[in-house]
Amino acid sequence: MIQLYIPLNFLGVIYREIKQALTDLEKMFGLLEREREVADAPGAPELKVGAGAVRFEHVDFAYDPARPILHDVSFEIPPGRTVAVVGASGAGKSTLARLLYRFYDVAGGRITIDGQDIRQCTQASLRRAIGIVPQDTVLFNDTVEYNIAYGRPGASRAEVEAAARQARIHDFIASTPKGYATMVGERGLKLSGGEKQRVAIARTLLKDPPVLIFDEATSALDSANERAIQAELRSAAQGKTALVIAHRLSTVVDAYEIVVLDQGRVVERGAHAELLARNGRYAQMWQLQQAAQDADEPAAV
């Protein structure tokens, strides 16, 4: 009996882990059905990442063919640079992140990493190359250590702690009675949005992928928290190719390039100063946000 029990128990654990991992990803992206529509091409090779150049080339996309979302979107993120995408709510910003992680396939055009079409390589190798800090991080009902180490299974406690320090969540963890053994999630310690995002940053730092996607939280954090998260993000993005989906323009001032999306189309591209000088859509958004800040209202764009 015991001989049967152990493997069954083991299978149960594996099942629970897989199910939880899927739940996490699905919740992250609000997807359930579509992910299964993306499949590896037969005999697909692994993605080989060198410098880590990301290109969106004439990308079209629709969740529902009757309602196109992205139209002919082209931009590139040179190796090691940060490109930020801004635009009104519903413009299609997070959709770009979902396409790069290949939760969906593009309907037209292509996305490449170091020249390789991401549809033509295995999903596993693509996802190993990319770290995501989503808008709303969903944590596993497990320990803080597990949640951070998930970025690199088998990581040592020292490595987990180093990542937590870099993401500036270590002191908070150390102040809890059980430290890294503290259970988090629905059945454990409830973390604030900012704390959860720092756990996700620590996880990503540990994973140390060449490509990073940061989907900024829509909900405005208080300005001290926001500055802290931005500093952590900058340190996480150092030397990596990063796509930042920004809701607050203060996040993007230092970006190599800012892509302004309006109803699924790129309407402007350039660095902060260039776009301000152009006095177009970005400059308008910037002025609106400055005015809102002066009125002491947290505003998202």
Nearer to ligand ATP, 95 or 289 (CB): 95
- In the list 47, 49, 69, 73, the residue contacting ligand ATP (rule: CB under 6 A) is 69
Structure tokens at 216: 């900024």
For the chain, give me the number of helices (H) and strands (E)? 10, 10
Could you tell me which of 154, 157, 156, 146 has the C-alpha nearest to residue 184? 146
Distance (Å, whole) CA 219 – CA 222 = 10
Nearer to ligand ATP, 24 or 159 (CB): 24
- Whole-angstrom CA distances from 156 to 56, 160, 162, 256 are 37, 6, 10, 35
Residue pair 118/100 in contact by the 8 Å Cβ criterion = yes
CA 170 from centroid of its chain's CA atoms: 21
251 binds ligand ATP (CB under 6 A): no
**Shortest CB 216 distance to ligand ATP, Å:** 9
The DSSP bridge partners found for residue 83 are: 243, 257
Distance (Å, whole) CA 68 – CA 249 = 26
92 binds ligand ATP (CB under 6 A): yes
Stretch that binds ligand ATP, among 89-97, 249-257, 269-277, 280-288 (CB under 6 A): 89-97
- In the list 54, 55, 95, 246, the residue contacting ligand ATP (rule: CB under 6 A) is 95
**Shortest CB 281 distance to ligand ATP, Å:** 14
Structure tokens at 79: 């190796």
**Shortest CB 102 distance to ligand ATP, Å:** 15
Distance (Å, whole) CA 188 – CA 152 = 23
Nearer to ligand ATP, 68 or 179 (CB): 68
Distance (Å, whole) CA 290 – CA 250 = 10
Stretch that binds ligand ATP, among 86-94, 120-128, 186-194, 221-229 (CB under 6 A): 86-94
**Shortest CB 104 distance to ligand ATP, Å:** 9
Nearer to ligand ATP, 30 or 50 (CB): 30
Structure tokens at 269: 């591209």
Residue pair 91/285 in contact by the 8 Å Cβ criterion = no
199 binds ligand ATP (CB under 6 A): no
Residues in CB range of 33: below 8 A, 6 or more apart? none
**Shortest CB 228 distance to ligand ATP, Å:** 22
**Shortest CB 217 distance to ligand ATP, Å:** 10
3-state secondary structure at position 281? helix
User: How many chain residues bind ligand ATP (CB under 6 A)?
Assistant: 14
94 binds ligand ATP (CB under 6 A): yes
- In the list 55, 81, 93, 170, the residue contacting ligand ATP (rule: CB under 6 A) is 93
DSSP 8-state secondary structure symbol assigned to residue 143:
B
Structure tokens at 259: 């892509």
91 binds ligand ATP (CB under 6 A): yes
Nearer to ligand ATP, 35 or 159 (CB): 35
- In the list 58, 90, 227, 279, the residue contacting ligand ATP (rule: CB under 6 A) is 90
Q: Which residues bind ligand ATP (CB under 6 A)?
A: 30-31, 63, 69, 87, 89-95, 218, 247
